[in-house]
Structure 1
Amino acid sequence: MNNAIRTKGLTKKANGRELVSNINLHIIKGEIYGFLGQNGSGKTTIMKMLTGLMIPTCGEIELLGNLLTEKTKSVLKRVGSVIEYPIFFDHLTAIENVKLHCDYLGFYDDKAISEALDLVHLKGVEKKQVKNFSLGMKQRLGIARAIITKPELIVLDEPTNGLDPVGIKDVRDLILMLNKDYGITFLLSSHILGEMEQIVDRIGVINNGKLINEVSLADIRKQRTDYIELVTTDVEKTVYLLESELQISNMKIIQDKKIRIYDWTQSLNTISKMLVLHDIEIEGIQKHISSLEDYFYKQINGGRHSE
């Protein structure tokens, strides 16, 4: 399998404790891979080591087929990144900041700079000093800086931080376009799990500094458990009617008043009508479609669903 990123036993210790431990990561070329983890789980620490901003205590990092060492750091020129909050020279304009970054890389293409600023909707404000930018605008500028050279791999830590819903959609569409049209591999982290679900191909679940699972979104969807949740004051009679009238047997009583129905042979409308005809008071009834959030919390709770 052709990996864009591979790590073996990647570990970082600081102040006598392990921030991340024994990370064996596999990110395939051409995919969009998402890190899922709570704050402080180690996502940013891993990203910093992958982009050369932090030195591992032990373990190996392979980027784009090259083992990352002091002698092979030139491979990082093929990697774009925005880690935590993007840093700029506030007294310089947006375009001056970007050109300074390109000078450092030895990349000279004014057209590419203009295109990148246009892609993140910063055309027209490129001559404005960065000190006058909002957090969201700085985030856009950081992404523009990361994509100018059309690198083979882009690492983005919370790329939608500070953006409004329109900005979040713009960034999502940009990532999907760069991935599809240019074959760029992405490693992303985000606390907006619903947003991740719309964009990533695979996820790595990070918990307490450990990578506890890597799985594709397609496999998660195969595993998902959808159900109808019914809230009523008469659970006992409701269960009897569901079994006798509609032949539903796959269900579970939750918190005394809730019934979760896992049998999808009957529609929500059919269930409601039958219960009303038998004078059952329905306080609530709705479909629940399992999400990436459900999967994530099941993983970090040791396989248990949160109720």
Structure 2
Amino acid sequence: MDQIIKTTGLTKRAKDRVLAENIQLDVYKGEIYGLLGKNGAGKTTIMKMLVGMTTPSSGEIALFGKSFNEHSKSLLRRVGSLIEYPTFYEHLTAMENLQLHCEYLGYYDEQGIKHVLDLVQLKGIENKKVKEFSLGMKQRLGLARAMVAKPELIILDEPTNGLDPIGIKDIRDLILVLNKEYGITFLLSSHILGEMEQVVDRIGVIEQGRLIKQVALEEIRKQHTDYIELLTTDAKRTVYLLEDQLGISNMKLVQGDRIRIYDLTYTQQQISRMLIEHNIGLEEIQKRNSSLEDYFYKLIHGGGSHD
């Protein structure tokens, strides 16, 4: 599979701070790749280096299989991006802003401009001045600008910022259409896992400027297992009884006194009955499924390694 983005040892320092360190990022043709991390983790810094908005302190970037540096900005003609807050010529209309952007890129397609404005649901207000736009409308216009020249790769930094729930769904659906029907590769960033898991194929987890894991979402889903979680008045004796009376050994203590049972041979009712017969106070018992949130919480708080 063709690599659209490949970075090797990509690092960015600012004075005495390390904003990104030894990033080994791999994004493949046709996929939607998500950079997931808390605000300030380094996602935006990485994206800025990929599009030449800031210069790496060290390391290498390859786009479309070619080395990217200050002498190869022509590669960026194949890339659309929306990083941080979108800025425009406020006194110009949405249409005029996109026309100027296309002239800069040497791309002339009036119908194409109208088409992307329609895609991001700005049709009918394309002649309205940007200074009259809401934050959400500016975000949509930023997406239109990223898409207008029909790029092969689109890089979007927190693309749903400023949008209401309906707007978020619209942008999510648009990304999926552009990816599946037009074959556009996407690199997205977000600090919200729930948004990511609905669109991305793979995720890179960023923590304190380091890429600690790259993993396919499908691989994570396969690791999810059902379990029974219970809270009793005596966790240690409960563990003993579960093993002695029911032969359950596949279990573990979490948060000090909660017990997770991964052997589902016995039902919640059978386990409850046994504990009550042995005078164990049962405060809580329920069946759960390990979630993506569990996975990433453990990864971030427990550390990780590069894939």
Taking structure 2 as the reference length, the TM-score comes to 0.88
User: Equivalents in 2 of 1:235, 1:46: separation in Å?
Assistant: 46
- The answer as to whether partners of 1:36 and 1:296 remain within 8 angstroms in 2 is no
Residue identity in the other structure for 1:123: K
Instruction: Report the alpha carbon displacement of residue 155 of structure 1 after superposing the two structures with TM.
Output: 0.4
For each residue in 1:16-65, what CA deviation from the matched residue of structure 2 results, as whole angstroms up to 9, or x when unmatched?
Answer: 33221221211111111111222222111110010111111222111112
Change (3 A) 1:228 1:169: farther
**How far did 1:180 drift?**
0.7
Q: CA deviation at 1:70?
A: 2.4
Secondary structure at 1:124's aligned position in 2? coil
* CA distance 1:286–1:55, shift in 2 (3 Å): same
Distance 2:279 2:123 in 1: 63
Q: What SS is found at the alignment partner of 1:301?
A: helix
| Cα offsets for 1:132-170 (capped at 9, x unmatched) | 222222111111111122210000000111112221111
| Whole-Å separation in 2 of the counterparts to 1:124 and 1:29 | 34
Q: Which residue of 2 aligns with 1:143?
A: 143
> Aligned pair in 2 of structure 1 residues 235, 180: CA closer, same or farther (>3 Å)?
same
Partner of 1:169: 169
User: Using the alignment, how far apart are the partners of 2:254 and 2:30 within structure 1?
Assistant: 43
Matched, 1:178 2:168: no
Structure 2: runs of 5+ lacking an equivalent: none
2:232 and 2:289 map into 1 onto residues whose CA distance is: 20
**Equivalent residues in 2 for 1:13-52, closer than 5 Å:** 13-52=13-52
Whole-Å Cα distance in 1 between the matches of residues 299 and 183 of structure 2? 30
CA distance in 1 between partners of 2:275 and 2:222 (Å): 31
Once the two structures are overlaid, the 10-residue window that deviates more, 140-149 or 220-229, is: 220-229
Structure 1 Cα separation of the partners of residues 287 and 21 of structure 2: 39
Amino acid at match of 1:143: L
Deviation at 1:204, TM superposition (A): 1.3
Work out whether residues 230 and 259 of structure 2, in 8 Å CA contact, stay in contact via their aligned partners in 1: yes
Deviation at 1:302, TM superposition (A): 2.6
Partner of residue 211, structure 2: 211
CA distance in 2, matches of 1:6, 1:74: 17
Query: Structure 1 residues 240, 7: CA separation in 2 closer, same or farther (over 3 Å shift)?
Result: closer
Q: Following the alignment from structure 1 to structure 2, what is the Cα–Cα distance between the partners of residues 143 and 285? A: 47
State how far apart, in whole Å, the 2-side matches of 1:83 and 1:279 are: 60
Q: What amino acid maps onto 2:26 in structure 1?
A: H
Q: Which residue is equivalent to 1:93?
A: 93
Q: How does 1:122-271 map to 2 (within 5 A)?
A: 122-233=122-233, 235=235, 239=239, 242-243=242-243, 247-255=247-255, 258-268=258-268
**How many residues are paired up?**
304
Q: CA distance change for structure 1 residues 86 and 274 in 2, over 3 Å: closer, same or farther?
A: farther
What is the RMSD computed on CA atoms of the aligned residues? Answer: 2.5
Mark the runs of 5 or more structure 1 residues left unpaired by the alignment: none
Instruction: Tell whether the 8 Å contact from 2:78 to 2:152 is kept in structure 1 after alignment.
Output: yes
- For residues 185 and 2 of structure 1, the distance between their equivalents in structure 2, rounded to whole angstroms, comes to 11
Quote the Cα distance in structure 1 between the aligned partners of 2:248 and 2:110. 66
Quote the Cα distance in structure 2 between the aligned partners of 1:126 and 1:109: 15
Task: List per-residue Cα deviations over 1:209-261 (Å, max 9, x = no partner).
Answer: 12222111122223335422223445467556655675533223344653222
Does the Cα contact within 8 Å between 2:36 and 2:192 map onto a contact in 1?
no
1:55-94 equivalences under 5 Å are 55-94=55-94
- The 2-side partners of 1:303 and 1:79 are apart by 33
Contact map agreement 2:120 2:143 (CA 8 A) in 1: yes
Structure 2 distance, partners of 1:245, 1:130, is 71
After TM superposition, give the deviation of residue 130 of structure 1 in Å: 1.7
Structure 1 length as normaliser, TM-score? 0.88
Q: Per the alignment, in what secondary structure is the counterpart of residue 264 of structure 2?
A: coil
In the aligned structure 2, how far is the partner of 1:90 from the partner of 1:269?
Answer: 65
> Could you say if the C-alpha distance between residues 187 and 239 of structure 1 is closer, same or farther in structure 2, counting changes exceeding 3 Å?
same
Q: State the alpha-carbon separation in 2 of the partners of residues 213 and 153 from structure 1.
A: 22
The secondary structure found in structure 1 opposite 2:162 is coil
Q: Is the 8 A contact 2:202 2:217 kept in 1?
A: yes
Q: Partner of 2:30: helix, strand, or coil?
A: coil
Instruction: Give the counterpart letter for 1:75 in structure 2.
Output: L
